[in-house]
Amino acid sequence: MFSDPLFIVAVITAFTLVTCCVAICVTACRIVNATLRGSRSVDRPEIIREVARILRHLLTSWWRRK
């Protein structure tokens, strides 16, 4: 079972997908932290709202977007 080529390809694909998602999340968190660190406290709620809007857009399937 573990030597099946299709299984090996599936494991490598899953590992690559998870690694890419982690890299994207870490990068996004660093960008948000840098943005919030350099902002005034008055602007922070607006920045957080905008980040949430962008994340909702990215997590919505392309065929469900208006």
DSSP secondary structure string for all residues of 21-66: HHHHHHHHHHHHHHHHHTS-TTTHHHHHHHHHHHHHHHHS-GGG--
Quick one: average pLDDT of 22-29?
Answer: 88
Measured distance CA(13)–CA(2) in Å, rounded: 15
CA distances, 33 to each of 15, 27, 64 (Å): 27, 10, 30
Model's pTM, two decimal places? Answer: 0.61
In this predicted model, what pLDDT tens digit does every residue of 27-61 receive, in sequence order? 888 888 888 887 888 888 888 888 888 888 877 87
